[in-house]
Amino acid sequence: MSRFVSSVEEALSNIIGYGRAAGSNEGLRERAGYARSWYAYRDASGTWQFGPSKFVGYQSVSAEDYLSEAGADGERDGRQTERVLSEWFVPVESGTRLGRELADALRSFLAGLGQVPNARVRINVLMSQIDPSTSLAKTSADMLSRITSDPRICGGRPCIKGTRMRVADVLEALAHGATRQELLRDFDYLADDDITAALIYAARVSDHRVIRVA
């Protein structure tokens, strides 16, 4: 039975391995356009490298294993690999500068394989490679400490700590097209980290990494 990666080094090795294998394996190239969840890191040359969740998240992965087990009837479970990889990677919102940069890089990467990104693609990036001045550089644990559930507040529904703003309220606003800047302007008691915390909390609960499409 396949085992999940247990360190960030294994995950990065798989990302590198995927890029090398996809260049010479027709099956990997054909399947690349179907992958929804991608993991990225910038190598020493400044180039973004990518690998799909079900390839990156398992130990001792090979192209043959991936192709035989990653389909709808296969044993590999993207929800589980995304949960494991969330220890080292965070989702990137498509409307941000980094999100646009990654989307362009993934589009170029897949073009080299003769493919285009899935319409529902989501991209996760290595935490340590995000500018330390941004909220996404903080660990998921730090972010999740901003979420609390108190039976006396909003019926115990998850809220931003110290407020009556529910996680669901933040997600609904973003889903309807509100930007971070608009939320911060309209609710001056919110911090940018609170919005990130709500997204990470929702992703953990649903067992999926979710990226809001601008």
Cα–Cα distance between 125 and 176 in angstroms, integer?
25
Q: Kindly state the average pLDDT of the residues 85-110.
A: 90
Lowest model confidence (mean pLDDT) among 5-14, 17-26, 179-188, 202-211: 202-211
pTM over 0.75: no
Q: Where are the domains of the chain?
A: 8-128, 138-206
Q: What is the mean pLDDT of residues 59-79?
A: 71
| Res. 99: pLDDT tops 50 | yes
Q: If you search the block for the tokens 């362009």, which residue do you land on?
A: 104
The span from the CA of 187 to the CA of 87, in Å, is 30
What does the angle CA 37 – CA 42 – CA 88 come to, to the nearest 5 degrees?
55
Q: Are strands 37-42 and 122-126 parallel, antiparallel or unpaired?
A: parallel
Instruction: Compute the distance between CA of residue 37 and CA of residue 79 in angstroms, rounded to an integer.
Output: 10
Please check whether residue 53 is in contact with residue 78, taking contact to mean a CB–CB distance below 8 angstroms: yes
Average pLDDT of the residues in 51-56: 92
pLDDT band at 76 (very low <50, low <70, confident <90, very high): low
- Provide, for the chain, the percentages of residues in helix, strand and coil under a 3-state DSSP scheme, each rounded to the nearest 5: 45, 10, 40
User: If you average pLDDT over residues 185-199, what whole number do you get?
Assistant: 88
What's the whole-number mean pLDDT along residues 58-86? 76
User: Residues 36, 40, 45, 46: is their CA dihedral positive or negative?
Assistant: positive
Higher pLDDT, 131 or 77: 77
Give me the CATH topology for the region 138-206: Arc Repressor Mutant, subunit A (1.10.10)
- Nearest Cα to 199, choosing from 184, 214, 212? 212
Cα separation, 67 vs 28, in Å, equals 7
pLDDT in tens, 113-126: 999 999 889 999 98
Q: What is the pLDDT of residue 70?
A: 60
